[in-house]
């Protein structure tokens, strides 16, 4: 019987010792370039002529399984290094790894391509032991016929495994490129902080969906049943949403987010983002349409106030507050004046014509949560974070706008804060969202008594700034919930009219369309916006 090693180990130029030419992973290298076929197996589940047990038809298993018939090739310490006389070939050698069964996916790729070969298999030459004496002739011919095809295909597969490094700037451009995102709708990129945003191109014609309802005097609100648009584009929680107050332009929706931006969407016709504005360096907590519908007033945690003109993209007004801004409201009569509240015990009235504070309203509290104008702007309400019995001011305070005097500070006596306020469009009442997980109803004229008979409950607030609103006809009330639901109540009976499973995270804002009778917009802490119809 012939010896397993059919050549002289002392000749370094002809062939290398197979016992010393294997790497640490059990693979072999042959610098001679001579193709040597593999060992023949007795059967599909038999034993090789070296005595190694094998369970497959191929002489080589998946490299990850570490079941190569090399157990008896090591003559010395298995951890020893290969011979220093071995040199890597100048070009990539032919690979004869089997491709009948594709191995598992790579750790560097989300999904392995068909026939994927690991990187180690493409870089290292396969094992070719000198077992020619035990391999029959038909095995030689079969291996030689497949060697050429395997080398070219597996070389391409090996190159596909290597992911090139892409700089961060190019990765951001690829995210913003619609072709790189698989054809998904991507909103226009916003301008860097401190730069003028691009002008917003608004079609001069009215939306065909809004046109039939413009001349209608009474709009009966119906309960929405399905999602019309699912708007995704913000990378942080969406704090508030608001339809454009001009009826002919009410297809536009404004959204303010904690990702330092506010966006304008076409939420009626297409569901696309029209423009992204990045004029703040911190989270945008409040953003409001101007009554003319051509400008947006925004304030955030960067203490900055900006009035952005949509047609020119410039800053008409810029101011610096003494506190982080959480709420903004335009005066219903004088549109050049607005109220600003936030992380301070004082509410300030700004005049955009002079760019200065014209009046202050100071209370013995630490934070202003929301502001609501009453009596056509002669009075307004402020919701504060005062909830203790020891404080002279309660949660809701009524102010005289002209004199800055307190009209009443004993409106809400329960020990809950009210994150949002909403005025009824037809009745002299207003709603207060409370952290007691219910909506409270108050009279909007002095002495602002709370109704003990009607209470709208069933949702959860749990510390979120959950908003509430009345429908344009006044028959329905809508509120979000900390568990993502959207609840609608009958204003007259306080019974629940509908419950929508809106979002996976807390639903913060809900708003009815001012013209379309059955369109509702909701936003969530997860950063998405839904338009219901």
- pLDDT in the model for residue 43: 42
106 band by pLDDT with thresholds 50, 70 and 90? very low
DSSP of 39-64, one letter per residue?
PPBSSTTSBBTT--B--SSSSS--GG
**Average pLDDT value over all residues in the chain:** 74
| Of residues 93, 88, 89, 165, the one with CA closest to residue 122 | 93
Average pLDDT over every residue of 263-289: 94
pLDDT in tens, 213-239: 888 776 778 888 899 999 999 999 999
DSSP of 454-501, one letter per residue?
EEEES---TTS---EEE-TTSSEEEEE-TTS-EEEEETTT--EEEEE-
- Is the Cα torsion angle 397, 441, 372, 527 positive or negative in sign? positive
- pLDDT in the model for residue 330: 96
**pLDDT value at 474 more than 80:** yes
**pLDDT value at 135 more than 50:** no
201 band by pLDDT with thresholds 50, 70 and 90? low
Residues for the chain: how many in total? 533
**pLDDT value at 437 more than 90:** yes
**pLDDT value at 118 more than 90:** no
Other beta carbons within 10 angstroms of residue 428's beta carbon come to 12
- pLDDT in the model for residue 55: 44
Residues 261 and 277: beta-carbon distance below 8 Å: yes
Q: Which helix (H) or strand (E) holds 146?
A: helix 137-161
**pLDDT value at 307 more than 90:** yes
- pLDDT in the model for residue 160: 43
Cα separations in angstroms, 155 against 62, 91, 123, 151, 269: 18, 12, 9, 6, 50
User: Hey, what CATH class is 235-469 in?
Assistant: mainly beta
Average pLDDT over every residue of 261-267: 95
- pLDDT in the model for residue 470: 95
- pLDDT in the model for residue 197: 60
- Rounded distance, CA 144 to CA 135, Å? 13
Cα separations in angstroms, 58 against 45, 54, 101, 119, 133: 11, 9, 10, 20, 19
Other beta carbons within 10 angstroms of residue 410's beta carbon come to 14
Residues 478 and 520: beta-carbon distance below 8 Å: yes
- pLDDT in the model for residue 171: 65
187 band by pLDDT with thresholds 50, 70 and 90? very low
**pLDDT value at 90 more than 70:** no
Q: What is the DSSP letter of 165?
A: P
**Domain range annotation of the chain:** 235-469
Average pLDDT over every residue of 258-281: 93
Residues 200 and 310: beta-carbon distance below 8 Å: yes
Place of tokens 């003990």: 452
Percent of the chain beyond pLDDT 90?
A: 50
pLDDT in tens, 314-345: 899 999 999 999 999 999 999 999 999 999 98
- pLDDT in the model for residue 407: 94
- 62-71, 462-471, 506-515: segment of lowest average pLDDT: 62-71
- pLDDT in the model for residue 220: 79
- Rounded distance, CA 251 to CA 294, Å? 13
- Is the Cα torsion angle 500, 239, 236, 276 positive or negative in sign? positive
**pLDDT value at 278 more than 80:** yes
- pLDDT in the model for residue 517: 82
User: Which residues contact residue 216 at a Cβ distance below 8 angstroms, ignoring those fewer than 6 apart?
Assistant: none
pLDDT in tens, 365-405: 779 999 999 988 999 999 988 755 556 678 899 999 999 99
Two tokens, residue 97: 């790894």
Q: SS3 of 142, please?
A: helix
Average pLDDT over every residue of 448-457: 93
Average pLDDT over every residue of 429-434: 96
Peptide bond into 447 cis (omega under 30): yes
- pLDDT in the model for residue 286: 96
- pLDDT in the model for residue 198: 64
205 band by pLDDT with thresholds 50, 70 and 90? confident
pLDDT in tens, 157-180: 444 445 556 666 666 665 555 444
């Amino acid at each position: 019987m012939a010896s397993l090693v059919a050549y002289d180990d002392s000749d370094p130029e002809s062939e290398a010792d197979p016992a010393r030419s294997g790497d640490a992973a059990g693979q072999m290298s042959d610098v001679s370039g001579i193709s040597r076929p593999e060992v023949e197996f007795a059967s599909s589940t038999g034993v090789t002529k070296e005595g190694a047990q094998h369970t497959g038809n191929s002489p080589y298993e998946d490299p990850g399984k570490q079941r190569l018939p090399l157990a008896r090739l090591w003559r010395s310490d298995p951890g020893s290094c290969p011979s220093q006389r071995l040199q890597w070939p100048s070009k990539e050698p032919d690979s004869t790894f089997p491709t009948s069964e594709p191995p598992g996916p790579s750790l560097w790729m989300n999904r392995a391509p068909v026939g994927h070969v690991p990187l180690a298999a493409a870089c290292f030459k396969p094992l070719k032991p000198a077992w020619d004496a035990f391999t029959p002739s038909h095995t030689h011919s079969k291996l030689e016929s497949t060697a050429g095809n395997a080398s070219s295909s597996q070389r391409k597969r090996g190159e596909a495994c290597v992911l090139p490094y892409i700089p961060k700037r190019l990765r951001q451009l690829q995210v913003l490129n619609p072709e790189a995102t698989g054809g998904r709708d991507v909103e226009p990129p916003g301008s860097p902080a401190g730069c003028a945003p691009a002008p917003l191109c608004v079609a001069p014609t009215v939306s065909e969906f809004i046109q039939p309802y413009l001349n209608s005097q009474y709009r009966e609100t119906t309960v929405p049943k399905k999602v019309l648009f699912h708007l995704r584009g913000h990378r942080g929680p969406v704090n508030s949403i608001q339809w454009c107050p001009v009826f002919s332009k009410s297809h536009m929706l404004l959204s303010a987010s904690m990702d330092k931006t506010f966006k304008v969407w076409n939420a009626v016709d297409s569901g696309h983002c029209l423009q992204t504005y990045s004029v703040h360096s911190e989270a945008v907590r409040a953003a409001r349409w101007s009554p003319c519908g051509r400008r947006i007033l925004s304030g955030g945690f960067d203490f900055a106030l900006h009035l952005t003109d949509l047609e020119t993209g410039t800053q008409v007004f810029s101011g610096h507050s003494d506190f982080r801004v959480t709420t903004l409201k335009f005066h219903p009569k004088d549109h050049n004046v607005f109220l600003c509240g936030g992380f301070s015990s004082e509410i300030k009235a700004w005049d955009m014509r002079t760019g200065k504070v014209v009046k202050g309203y100071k209370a013995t509290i630490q934070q202003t949560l929301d502001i609501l104008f009453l009596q056509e702007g002669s009075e307004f309400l402020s919701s504060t974070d005062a909830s203790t019995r020891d404080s002279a001011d309660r949660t809701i305070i009524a102010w005289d706008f002209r004199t800055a005097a307190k009209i009443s500070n004993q409106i809400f006596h329960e020990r809950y804060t009210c994150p949002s306020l909403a005025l009824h469009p037809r009745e002299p009442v207003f709603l207060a969202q409370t952290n007691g997980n219910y909506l409270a109803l108050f009279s909007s004229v002095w002495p602002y008594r709370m109704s003990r008979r009607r209470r709208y409950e069933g949702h959860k607030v749990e510390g979120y700034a959950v908003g509430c609103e009345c429908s344009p006809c006044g028959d329905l009330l809508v509120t979000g919930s900390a568990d993502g639901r959207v609840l609608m109540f009958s204003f007259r009976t306080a019974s629940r009219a509908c419950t929508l499973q809106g979002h996976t995270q807390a639903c913060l804002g809900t708003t009815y369309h001012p013209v379309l009778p059955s369109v509702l917009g909701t936003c969530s802490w997860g950063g998405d916006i839904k338009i219901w119809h």
